[in-house]
Amino acid sequence: MTKARDLRDQSSEELVSALDDARKDLFKLRSEVIQGGNVERPHRIALQRKDIARMLTILHEKQSANRAT
């Protein structure tokens, strides 16, 4: 789980890269569930979704701050 204060310290490019990685991980987790495989830790899907939402929120904050200045 990624903390919001840690994400705020990253640049926008780093956040976009981390967001892409998180989305790929979520896709892999979901595909394991769909294929009927036994997922070791199914709660990771919810955690991954929350991390993605957190990253998007920080990105939108940075974009709106850039527009305001």
61 has a pLDDT exceeding 80: yes
1 has a pLDDT exceeding 70: no
Helix, strand, or coil here: 35? coil
Domain count, the chain: 1
CATH classification of the domain holding 8? 1.10.287.310
Q: Which amino acid would we find at residue 35?
A: Q
Provide the domain limits for residue 18: 4-68
Q: pLDDT digit string (tens) for 3-58?
A: 889 999 999 999 999 999 999 999 999 998 888 877 788 899 999 999 999 999 99
pLDDT of residue 22: 97
Q: How far apart are CA 60 and CA 55, in angstroms?
A: 9
